[in-house]
Amino acid sequence: MKQSGNTILITGGGSGIGEALAHRWHDAGNTVIIAGRRQEALDAAAAGRDNIHTLTLDVESAAGVVDFAQRLLAAHPAVNVLVNNAGIMRYEKAGEARDLADAEATIETNLLGPIRLTDALVDHLSGQADAAIINVTSGLAFVPLAATPTYSATKAAIHSYTVSLRKVLEGEVEVIELAPPGVQTSLTPGQENRDGYQPLDEFADEVMALFAQEPTPSEILVERVRAFRHAEKDGTLDKFVDQLYDMAKARGA
């Protein structure tokens, strides 16, 4: 992926990882469009940066994604990079019968959202020079957090989907997976200052250094997530699952 001169769409760009990467890509010489549900959050993230633009998007709505893609391409026909970053994370008690509203919303946002948006833009991207799709997964795609089973499952599914996209779009669109570790963001209550999670700016700086490698790695893995990525191969999967479960339980999750 080239480092400057792109027109980059980032979903979930109004906060957290999406906002941090939007700022860095903007400052590196790219035009950036950030998309999300809340216009006020988008405006705050774009403030002071002339080449960050905003568009509202609800990835849970199939019709809304189609409408968004039309608005996006009308306003920014040069878009050549899609970053599927929007996501939600909900704690669930999967060991007992429960209201599945949180699980269903997680699947709609984290799995169907990227699939729908990629579908809406893939023909356009296939015709663009230096096109790329970046899917943001998670270290939990490889070591699930039992307290967030649907979130972990959606990230594992997007990992698999990304591998398939990379094959079918080979030679047309570069397909990259970004798998964060636990990062200090507002993804879950109290996470912004949670001990043991990577500070957001440190994470974003490490990610940008990895994107600057030539060629760009097909998987962007900061140092803190590598042990999770290779846990099954290394025989440490059960140990990490137990550790994550115990830590979440200690927090009351």
Of 152, 173, 67, 63, whose CA–CA distance to 110 is shortest?
Answer: 152
Q: Percentages helix, strand, coil for the chain, rounded to the nearest 5? A: 50, 15, 40
**Active-site pick, 151, 161, 197, 245:** 151
> CA angle 100-138-201, nearest 5°?
120
Distance from chain centroid for Cα 69: 18
Structure tokens at 146: 């039992």
Residues 6+ apart with CB under 8 A from 5: 29, 30, 130
Rounded distance, CA 132 to CA 128, Å? 9
Rounded distance, CA 56 to CA 41, Å? 10
Whether residue 151 lies in the annotated active site: yes
Residues 6+ apart with CB under 8 A from 31: 6, 7, 8, 51, 53, 76, 78
* Phi/psi of residue 184, nearest 5 degrees: -75, 90
> CB–CB of 116/110 below 8 Å?
no
Catalytically active residues, by annotation: 151
